[in-house]
Amino acid sequence: MHTWIPDERQLAYLNWKQVEALHKEKTLLVLPTAAIEQHGHHLPLATDTLINNLLLGRALGKLPKDAPIYALPPICYGKSNEHTGFPGTMSISAATYMAVVRDIGASVAASGFRKLVLYNSHGGNSALNDVMARDLRAEFGLRTFQMGASGGAKFEDIAAQERAYGFHAGEYETSLLLAAIPQFVDTSAYTINYIADVTRPEVLKPEFAPATFAWLTRDIAPSGVMGDPNPSTAEKGERWIEEAATCAAAALVAMLAYENHS
């Protein structure tokens, strides 16, 4: 898998004596959580994993050279059963996903580290990461953090409809890959699906409403796209990569500095 993470930030590139020498109380480890799943007719199955690696790599490149922050190899497979029925989607169960995160957390703690961040780029993992961050804190005493890959960037130039409902293979994800790895984007195969209208305040929607219903992608987006990739450009992608990486780097520095009573 293509990587943008600097070699010197890859924990797995160290040997065990080098890991032993790290200051365990201060070092922050980053566990990327992503997915391998359909992204419409125009983006690759690895979109979430590529975007995770891209944004994390750019964020790590913005850190002070002496900041003890290292990336772990990613969990590429996620809870992706919302995309059941689309060829190529690789999904693991919630129980399996949480067991893997728990066991990695156990290994992190056994190695003496005290800080771990779950760095996520797949919506299907979000609720599970929320559970596991608390569980890792309770079971192993790890100072556990979680964040979305964009680090809370606002992307103010995305239209309201796309910002709300363009969350899968839409303008944002397509622009990022056009900027970073355009050979994997088929610009002749764009499709549009919006699962709801931001201007219509129904009580019941699939997302972002007072009441929601459980859905599979096949129910609401036949092509697998949720959003409109047509306005995507490499220029937008580069701007959004820079914005997201800046926000993510600031969040990582805050996590590194965070202290509480153990």
Cα 167 from Cα 124, distance rounded (Å): 12
Class of domain 7-257: alpha beta
Q: What is the reported pLDDT for 261?
A: 55
Cα dihedral 161→167→134→251 (10° resolution): -80
Long-range pairs for 131-138 at CB < 8 Å and ≥24 separation?
131/98, 132/98, 132/101, 132/102, 132/105, 135/98, 135/102, 136/101, 136/102, 136/105
**Distance from the Cα of residue 253 to its chain's centroid:** 18
pTM, whole model, 2 decimals? 0.96
Q: What is the reported pLDDT for 208?
A: 87
User: Domain map of the chain by residue range?
Assistant: 7-257
Q: In the chain, which residues have pLDDT < 50?
A: none
Which amino acid, 262?
Answer: S
